[in-house]
Structure formats: structure tokens, C-alpha cells
Structure 1
Amino acid sequence: MFGRSISAYICYAALVRLGHVSAVAVPRQDQDADAASVISKAQNIVNPLSPNQSGTPPDLTVLGNYYITQKSPTPLLRATGILTKALTFLYGPSIAGGPAYPTGILGLVKVTADLLAIQLDLTPETAQALVDNTDAILGIAKYDGLQTVEDYTKLYDGEWMNTLPKGPDLGVLTNYTDDLLFSMERLSNSPYQVRRLNPNSDSLNFQIDDTIAKNITGSTLQQLFSAGRLFYSDYRDQGSLTPNLLRYSAACDAYFYVDINGDKFLPLAIRTNVGSNLIYTPADTANDWLLAKMMYNVNDFWFAQWNHLASTHEVVQIVYSAAIRTISEEHPVQALLNRLMSEVFAIQPLAQTVLFDPGAAVDLVFSYSGTSAQAYTDKKYKNDGSGRFQANYFKTELQNRGLLNPATGPTLKHFPFYEDASTIHDAISTFMTAFVGSYYSSDSVVAIDGELQAWAKECNGVLAACKDFPAAISSKAALVDILTHIAHLASTSHHTINTNELLSISSTLPFHPPALYKPLPSAKGVNNVAEYLPPFTQVLTQFTIGALFARPDFVGTNRSLIHMFDVQTFLSKTNDQTRAANGVFMSAMKSFSSQVSSRRFDGEGLSQGMPFVWQALNPNVMPFSITT
């Protein structure tokens, strides 16, 4: 079990100590200084908690096949291996907020390996980002000084082709003033905030004049509420955050509604909650309403990024840490987790160094400080429910917000996130069912697997302190749910919000600024919305940061979701049923990829009921693991 040399681990550590992987050289005068600074930080990520340690980390190679605990041919050696891991993979202080972060000899080995792996992934990204940054500077004349909102769409005219080869999602640059685009983003690329108001348990958070509401929707606000057709989104908690100098933000809450025919999900009102606390609706002038939607997007961009860090990265990191300490490397479940958790321990140092530290990315482009972002993430994980495990199971979480199988009101006719994610989630669940069934003949066999029960106990212990992890794993179905959820968080949940999606829609300009550059108006009547948008140097920095988190080079490779389980180091030591299940999964994902990649606008100019073509969850494009 522990037969292989540790030379690979020593090599990992040595490479990291030798310094960052160099990128393509670009003339310094042709680079944006802030963008270059962020690139430099990304190239020099280290574990800030690494103490001076000596000792030999255990070799984690499995020489034979995988066995559940009860069937191990070498139980004493297996128990010794688990004890060795528990003594050398330790819980240290958190990095970038959230749960404990690994330390100890084995902990540092794993962190070092993950940091090296992500630096190798970032090598082409940093090179491409710098080249694209330089090309954009050289093409500055065509942007006309970004004097109008329309000028911002020219930023993508033949630019950023290395980091965003296909450009923004079709329709994003042409239909951004369409209310349906704004509202349907809440059901596609940013689906984790909006919720249906339940007339039996909720209340109205602000009022709208009946005449205005009826002119827009055909109903009063109260009528929409009573019929279960009113939805709410709340970013008021951002009002207390520390702002960055000369950057501004509202702290919006907003109403959305399903129209009287039950066909469309549309915006109704946006309240700013700062300054004059204006309430905007589609009845306002085009400029005022567009600015209001941009204010909302500033808040939404902030929430989506730091909530995703708390709800995906930090959740799987601590659950995986607990598994390392309690489950043998010989166990098929641990082998599967090792595959799914590729580079997981690199993310928190990346967030701390590239995003949160003073002078890093958040300070450079967002409305609020990096310190605020870290505190916001930490609060989301620990106090606001983002760190919960079972409560955030895919369908459970959507049902709890009234977006799926509502207790009152009409079913959403179009729900692109659910449509795409459920296809992938079902395929993952099918694989996990076959995988678990191939090793466990009954629920009782699961219940007496001591390593699985030790994992659950560890997750619920005071050191790991996982949120809402099952107290015990007592059935095949429960184990399938746990593994499916981990895979979901590392893939569909994450890549809906981050990775390639950042550049293709959720940070596209002019509609999605991370900050406003002029104080919010004290009264309605805005003449030029472009005055509130980032200047060119800030645009460059924003795009460069987004490029660091994109993975265009993974498209069509074995790093894509199609290959989530497709690696011989895992499959060769499993069994025929697991290998067959992988074939079924790959076939389903290839078919779904063809469906997603062929999407176009229909006769009404819509795709999945939206005026843009959303393809973030294409299994041949999105990574199989939680890499950024």
C-alpha cells in the first residue's frame, strides 16, 4: 500500500520553492500595471500557513484493487495507513475564511502538489491574458474613449480572443437592455439568490404604487404576492461593507414576477437602500432603469463570487479533509474523492493571495475591499447557510426557495440552470448508484463500513466542524446522495458561477460592472449611464482577472466534465460495473454536449426562454473538477 518512492512529492515541493512558472514576455509599457500585478500574484502562490516541518510524508499509492473496509485483504496494514494519515494530515487555521485548512507533513505535501498543479494550469492563462491585455491597449482607438454605454460593447471586437475564443454569450452584447435578459440571468448564470415569496409565511419588504404595478404586470403587488407569482432578491447586507476609494455601490433588493400567462419571469422593481433610497421600475426612463439593473448586477456579482467560494470550494475542502484522515486510500470512495478533488487545496491560497490581500484583485476592481470580501465569504460559510451540506442538495435547495415544485404559484416555464444542471446531476447520480451498488450489496453493508462511519463522525467533530453533514451513513442511497452532491458542487454548481462563465456573461460589460465609478444619483433623471462605468484601465484589470479563472484550454480535453471518472489510475482498480457506468456517463455527457453546443435563437429570438444563448454547462467545455 505504501510502496512507492516519495520522489514525486519532493519534486513538487522543489519546483514550487524554485519559483513561479514564467509566462510569455510582453513589453512592460504595453501592459496595464494593475493587471500585471494580479498576474504576478497568481504566478507566485504559496501556502501562507506553511510552517518549517521535517519528516517523510507517507506514500499514498495503492498497489492492488480498491476494497471496502470489510473486504480488505490487509486490515492491519490498512488501519496503520489510516492512522499515519491522521497523524500527518492535520487541521490548521483557515485561509481566506471558512473552515480549517490542511497542515502537518501530509497536509503540506498535498497542498504543495495542488499549488504546483494549479500553477501549471495558470501558465497558459497568464500568458494569454497578458497578450490579450496588450492587444486591447493597442486597439484603444476603436473604443472611442468609452463615452457611451454602446462603446463598451466594442471592447470585445476582435479582442480577448485567447482567453475568450468564442466571445461573450450570443445576445449579451446586443440584448443587454432587454428586461428578460436581466431577469433570466437569475435563473441561469446566477441562480443562488432569488426566491419565491410564500404568501403563507413571508411578507412584502417594500411597497410599489398599485397603479405602477398594474401598468407593468396587470396586477397589484399584493395580488402578485397572494398568487405566488412574486419573487424577491436581497443584497441589503452589502450596505455595511467597507467601500474602496472612488468606487460605489447600492445595496439592492428587488422584486421579480411571473407574468399573468405564466410564460415569462420578469423584473418588477429595484430598491437601492443607500442615499436617497430610490425605487426603480420598468416604468422609469430607459437610462434610469438600465442604471438600476446595473446597480443590482454590481451587488449580484459580489454575492455570486464570494457565496460560491463559501458554498462550493470551502464545503468540499473540509469534507475531503475529513475523508483523508479517516478513510483508507484503498477504499473505492476515497479513490473517487481523490479524483473529484483535483487541486482543491490550491483554491484558498489563490483566493487569499490573488483576491483578498491588500492591493490584490478585489481592492483593484470591486466596490468593497478585499478584507470585506473575505469576511463576507466567512460569514456566508459559517452563519448564512452557504456551508450547509444536506440542506444544499441540488433539488432540496431549489425547492426551499420555491423555484422547483412550488407550494404556491405557477411552475417556472423556463429554468435554464435547472434544465442543464439536472441533466448532469442525474447522470452523476446514475454513475454513483452503479458505483456504490457494485461495492455494497445492501444498506447493512454500508452501515457496518467502519471507515465510512468514521468519516461521518469526523465531519461532525469539533475540528472539521462541517455544516449539516449526515451524522451517519446508513444506506446505499445516503452514500449516493453524499457523493453526488460533492460531484455537483465541484462541477455544475461551481461552473455555473465561475470559470469560463465569468468572461462569457457574468462580468461582461457594459451590463455587469463589479463597481460603479460615480456616486449613486440622489434623484432620477440620469443622462449618460456610461459615466458610472469603469474607465479603460479598470476594464483591462477586470478582464485580466476574469481570464485567470477561465479554462479555455480544457475544452475538448480529458480535463472536461465528460471525463469526470475517466482516468485509468482510478478505473483500473475498481470493477467492471464501475467501468461500464463510466461508459454510460461519458455517452450521456457527449450527447448533452452536442445539444448545448447546437443551441441557437428560436423564431422569437430566444434560447431556453432567454434573449441570450447560455452554454456554461457544456460537458465538453466545463472542467470535471473544482479547479478555480
Structure 2
Amino acid sequence: MYLTTLLLLANIYTTISAQTSNDSSSSYVLPLYDPAPLDRRQRVAKNQQGYLYGESLLGNLSFFPTGQLGDALVAKEASLWTSEAELFESIVHLEAQEVATALLKVSNASTTPSTSSTQELASFFALYRNQWQDSNPDGLDVGAYTNFTQDLYFSMERLSVNPFSLSRISPNQTLPFKLANNVTMAITGTTLSKLQLAGRMFVVDHSDFADLPRQPGKYSASSTAFFFIHPESGDFLPLAIKTNEGADLIYTPLDSANDWFLAKTLFESNEAVFVDMFHLSATHAVAEIVHQAALRTMADQHPIRGLLDLIMYRAYAVRLAGSTSLFNAGGLVDQNFAFNASTVLGWNSRLYQNVLGRFQTNYFERWFTDHGLINSSYGPALTHFPFYEDVKPVVDSMRVFIEAFVRSYYPTDDLISQDTELQAWIVEANGPAQVLDFPPAPLTSRTTLVDILTHMTYLTGVLHHALNSGAYAASWHLPLHPIAHYQPLPTSKGVKSVLPFLPNATHAINQIALLNSFNRPSYKYDGLNLPALFSNPTFLARANNDTQAAAARFQTSLTKLSAVNQAKSFDRDGLSQGMPFIWRTVDPMRLPSFLSM
């Protein structure tokens, strides 16, 4: 069935690519070199009248397109998105039914339920083994079946699956909670204060979930967690998790296996909400509004507009689809999350306005520097940082292409200043579009333009997929990662079993189906993966020779990076990049070249 699925999807994508090609066959040209400047200015004026800023659709995020041209663009892209989504959702639905049938057979055949806590938890993998082979043919991360209860597995997910909630604690920072010295000594070999003064402590703080109401029958923590770099081994490990809910218990690795694993699942449930909303705000909402400003100020034969149109392929279908199936009343968020959609969107709106909507603040290197994960002025460097290790060479390759592209159209900085459409875009972004923390007008250097375009390509081509379509199918597996819990949080330690708190078979299948629906495994076969991003035939046909050559180099570079990713294996200590699992999410051949979901 999988080959048939690939062929069907590839046919759809080929059709979509043909339908969404730019109708104009003219080469990209700057406005000061355009032989028909009056006609060009008239078309830009029509864009300003036809592309308008509308309501966000999903909370208080950036504007969403409206107006005659905006509505037509959204309708076109929504139609193309639907043709793909309907097929893939039918595949996931069929697979969910197959898993339910298989579980029923196993349940009927079993007469001796396990009394081992570890075996109870491992039973969740019956939900995955030899299942979901069309929606997730690559399966779970290698090591997930065997090592998911390890503390190193849990902590290193913070440095791979989601490093964006993590920050290093400065030596003079007030700690959100304290631990007894004997507890800290037993886990770390030193005191809490010495650990902090040495710059070895890190925190993830989801305590702002505390004020969010839960849905009936569902429960959640609003956890705060400490992690640390071990003074002797250098390993990045968990130290404590405080629930901030119910009895507000503090759990550590010194607690029983059941208590500690439950605490980790409560933390991961908070992480699931954070990651889902982070991806929506930091990628979709930011990239869309920057592009909308370009639609209103640039002619379609402007090279910068051409690049932005390319990386924003089919982008405006996603927020619309989210408003009608994910975040609608009774939709998939309400069905699966502990918080309802309205609550989540309200919380996310604050996150966007205060943090994630800020353009320059969220540059790749700057984010991790500001949060103490790289280039820290205090404390030792992380021995391993898999997310940074895998993403940096991809972003570097993007920057190399962008630099060649920009310099091919702007041999000098003076041309930047003379480009009226480019300058109008910067003014629009800072003004009517209300892009937060965007580089100010006037734009005077090619370096700043390279920064802008590299960040846009990172958002749409890497960050989105690392947190969403590339990650969910592999990394967010049960039993470690429930989206919600189904029993009230314990009033004391000493739980006999974690299972009553976790999703039952029906809830578990629904969760897996939801997460797998974000996956698009066939992209690596149909020319819509990341290495092919700048090799789009329509884009290349309009681009100059230097851009065409740079696109070929980019494709070669990312193909080599994919081979490196695929060659990952365990070392003699049973680790890959310091982790007891093999993380292949940022494999360029598996990443879409656009905001797919």
C-alpha cells in the first residue's frame, strides 16, 4: 500500500506544483532596471488595493490576508492543500482502525497482565510496532522502544526535540524553587548554590499554564523543571520537576520509578502544548506577515518577491485549515489537549506578542545565545547539542545561497538604497503590517537583507519542520509524551501505577493519529524536499545565472548533509550525539521545502 500511496501523493504534488507556478515568464529584475516602470508601478498599486490585512483567525497573532487578491490567494492555496490533506487523512484514519483491531486481538489473547511497571509502559509500543507504515514509514527514533525510561533520554530531548523552552540559569538569578542540599548532593555531587554559581543549571518553566482552565475529565501540570550539566561526567541530566498543580509536589530521580516517570510525563504534556503553539507563532505567523508586506509593495518580477513567493508556497492554507479543524470548537485540540482551543489560543497570543513574534530576536544563533545554550559567558559549554549540531550546517548552507542570490542582484550596497520597492517593503513591514522587531527603515546594507532572507528560509524550511511535520511522527511517542492526563494529579507520592493517568487505547490512538497527520513522508520522493527548495523550475527560469549556480550548489550541499544524518548510529557507549536514541528529524531529504502543515 505504501508505494501506491507515494505514487498518489506524488501525482497530487506534481499537479499542485504546476498549478501554483507563477504565470509570469519574465526574468526577475529590480525596479530601477525595469524597461516598463509605469506599468510596474500600476501593478504594485493594484497589489496594495487587492492585498489587505485581515483578522488573524487564530488568536491575536499577525494579520491574515483579505481583500480581492488576498481572498483569491487563500482560496487557491486552501483548495490545493485540501486535495493533499483529504488523501493523507483518509490513510491515517484507516491505519487508526487497523491499530484498534490489532490491539483488540492482543487484549483478547492475553490472560496474564504484567505486574512490572516497566513492562506496563513498554506495552504502549504495541501501538506503533508494525503499524502506521504509510503515515510514518520510518517509525520511531531508534532507541525509543528500549531506552525511553532513561533520564538521559528525557533530558537530551530538551537539546534535540525541543530546545526552545530551555534556558541556562545565571549565577545571580532567583531560582523558581529550592531543593534540599542533601537531595541535590545525592543527584549531582554538589550543592544547589554551587551548581548555579558554576553556570551548570538550566530551567524550563511552564508555570504560566497554572491559570488556564482544564477540560472536564482531563488534567495537566504547569511544571517547572531543573536540568544540569554533571560536574564529573559532563552529561546533561534532569534534576527536579515541580508540578505547580494539585499538591504541588517536587519530584526528583531519587523518587520511585513510578513517581518519577509520572512527573516526566506531566512535564512532557506541557512541552507538547508549548511546541505546538511555538511552531504556530514563530514560523507561520511571522513568515506570513513578512510575506504579506512584500505582496503589497513589490511587483512579482522583483527577485526578493520571487524568493519569498517560493519559500511561502501554499502557506496561507494552513492557518485557515487550523481554524476549521484544529482550533475550532469541538475540533482536534479540544478532543486531545487538556486545555480547550480557545484557552490555548489566548495563551499563545501573549507568547506571540511578547516573545515569538519578534523577528530579529529569534534569529537562529541569537536565540540560543540569549538563552545560554551556546556562547555562554558563564558555565561550561554543552558537551552535545544535537539540535544546533544538525540545524547549523543547514542554516549555513541557506545563508551561502542567500548571499550569492542577493549579491547577484545587488553588486553594491548603493543599489539597496536605490531599490524603491525593497525600501517600501521595509517601511510596510515596520508600519501597517506591524511586524515586531523587524530591521528598521531605511535598509542600507546587503548584510541586513541577507539576515532577513536567511531567517525567513530558516523559519519556513527548518524550524517549522523540526518542531512539527518532521518531528511529531518520530519523537512525540507514548507513553512518555501524553498530550493530556486522565486522572487528577496525585496528592502524595507513592503511586502504584502510572497507567491510570495515561491515555487509554482509544485516546492513545487518537493522539497518534493526530500527530501522524502532520507527517508527509512522500516529500523525499517527489521533489518537494528541502534540497530542492531553490531548484524549483519556475523560480530558476526567471533567476539569473549566478542564482541558478548557487541553487545547484545548495542542493548538493543539503544532499550531503542528508547522507550524514542517515549515517547516524550508536557509539560503543550506546549513544548517538550523547543521546540513547538516534535523532534524524533534521534530515534534509525528509524535510519539506515549505510550510507544509
Q: Normalization by structure 1: what TM-score?
A: 0.88
Letter in 2 for 1:404: I
Query: Are 1:61 and 2:23 matched, yes or no?
Result: yes
The Cα of 1:376 is off from its aligned counterpart by 1.9
Q: 1:275 aligns with which of 246, 257, 263?
A: 246
Give me the whole-angstrom Cα distance separating, in 2, the residues matched to 1:176 and 1:547: 19
Deviations 1:174-229 (A, max 9, x none): 211111111111111111110001114x2211100101101101111111110000
Corresponding residue of 2:385: 415
Corresponding residue of 2:484: 515
Query: Are 1:372 and 2:343 matched, yes or no?
Result: yes
Query: Are 1:88 and 2:41 matched, yes or no?
Result: no
Q: Which runs of 5+ in 2 are unaligned?
A: 6-20, 115-119
Give me the whole-angstrom Cα distance separating, in 2, the residues matched to 1:124 and 1:585: 32
Q: 1:293 aligns with which of 253, 260, 264?
A: 264
Is residue 384–residue 577 contact of structure 2 (8 Å, CA) maintained in 1?
Answer: yes
Corresponding residue of 1:55: none
User: 2:164 aligns to what SS in structure 1?
Assistant: coil
Give me the whole-angstrom Cα distance separating, in 1, the residues matched to 2:106 and 2:277: 31
Letter in 1 for 2:366: T
User: 2:522 aligns to what SS in structure 1?
Assistant: helix
Letter in 2 for 1:539: A
User: 2:146 aligns to what SS in structure 1?
Assistant: coil
Corresponding residue of 1:44: none
Query: Are 1:169 and 2:138 matched, yes or no?
Result: no
Equivalent positions of 1:553-592 (< 5 A) are 553-592=522-561
Corresponding residue of 2:274: 303
User: 1:534 aligns to what SS in structure 2?
Assistant: coil
The Cα of 1:119 is off from its aligned counterpart by 1.2
Is residue 103–residue 126 contact of structure 2 (8 Å, CA) maintained in 1?
Answer: no
The Cα of 1:120 is off from its aligned counterpart by 2.1
Corresponding residue of 1:445: 415
User: 1:531 aligns to what SS in structure 2?
Assistant: helix
Letter in 2 for 1:163: S
Corresponding residue of 2:181: 210
Query: Are 1:602 and 2:564 matched, yes or no?
Result: no
Q: Normalization by structure 2: what TM-score?
A: 0.93
Equivalent positions of 1:139-218 (< 5 A) are 139-141=102-104, 144=107, 148-200=120-172, 202-218=173-189
Give me the whole-angstrom Cα distance separating, in 1, the residues matched to 2:268 and 2:169: 21
Check 1:366–1:143 CA distance in 2 against 1; reply closer, same or farther (3 A cut): farther
Give me the whole-angstrom Cα distance separating, in 2, the residues matched to 1:143 and 1:619: 38
The Cα of 1:343 is off from its aligned counterpart by 1.4
Give me the whole-angstrom Cα distance separating, in 2, the residues matched to 1:135 and 1:282: 38
Q: 2:295 aligns with which of 314, 324, 328?
A: 324
Is residue 521–residue 590 contact of structure 2 (8 Å, CA) maintained in 1?
Answer: yes
Alignment RMSD (CA, Å): 1.6
Deviations 1:282-328 (A, max 9, x none): 11111111110101000011111011101110000111101100111
User: 2:204 aligns to what SS in structure 1?
Assistant: strand
Query: Are 1:72 and 2:43 matched, yes or no?
Result: no
Give me the whole-angstrom Cα distance separating, in 2, the residues matched to 1:112 and 1:483: 26
User: 2:525 aligns to what SS in structure 1?
Assistant: coil
Give me the whole-angstrom Cα distance separating, in 2, the residues matched to 1:64 and 1:357: 42
Letter in 2 for 1:406: S
Is residue 129–residue 548 contact of structure 1 (8 Å, CA) maintained in 2?
Answer: yes
Deviations 1:366-412 (A, max 9, x none): 111011121122121113x1100001000001100000100100011
Number of residue equivalences: 568
Give me the whole-angstrom Cα distance separating, in 1, the residues matched to 2:79 and 2:518: 16
Give me the whole-angstrom Cα distance separating, in 1, the residues matched to 2:461 and 2:387: 13
Give me the whole-angstrom Cα distance separating, in 2, the residues matched to 1:391 and 1:608: 28
Deviations 1:127-171 (A, max 9, x none): 210221111121023554998322111111211111111211111
User: 1:174 aligns to what SS in structure 2?
Assistant: helix
Check 1:279–1:478 CA distance in 2 against 1; reply closer, same or farther (3 A cut): same
User: 1:164 aligns to what SS in structure 2?
Assistant: coil
Give me the whole-angstrom Cα distance separating, in 1, the residues matched to 2:360 and 2:106: 48
Corresponding residue of 1:258: 229
Query: Are 1:120 and 2:83 matched, yes or no?
Result: yes
Equivalent positions of 1:375-524 (< 5 A) are 375-383=346-354, 385-461=355-431, 463-472=432-441, 473-506=443-476, 508-524=477-493
The Cα of 1:123 is off from its aligned counterpart by 3.2
Give me the whole-angstrom Cα distance separating, in 2, the residues matched to 1:546 and 1:511: 14
Query: Are 1:237 and 2:199 matched, yes or no?
Result: no
User: 2:594 aligns to what SS in structure 1?
Assistant: coil
Q: Which runs of 5+ in 1 are unaligned?
A: 1-23, 25-58
Select between 447-456 and 311-320 the one with higher mean Cα deviation.
Answer: 447-456
Is residue 229–residue 409 contact of structure 1 (8 Å, CA) maintained in 2?
Answer: yes
Deviations 1:515-543 (A, max 9, x none): 01110001000111111111111112112
Is residue 198–residue 408 contact of structure 1 (8 Å, CA) maintained in 2?
Answer: yes
Deviations 1:251-270 (A, max 9, x none): 00010000113621110000
Letter in 1 for 2:214: P
Give me the whole-angstrom Cα distance separating, in 1, the residues matched to 2:22 and 2:500: 57
The Cα of 1:348 is off from its aligned counterpart by 1.1
Corresponding residue of 2:14: none
Letter in 1 for 2:454: T
The Cα of 1:60 is off from its aligned counterpart by 6.6
Deviations 1:419-454 (A, max 9, x none): 111010000000000000100011121122111111
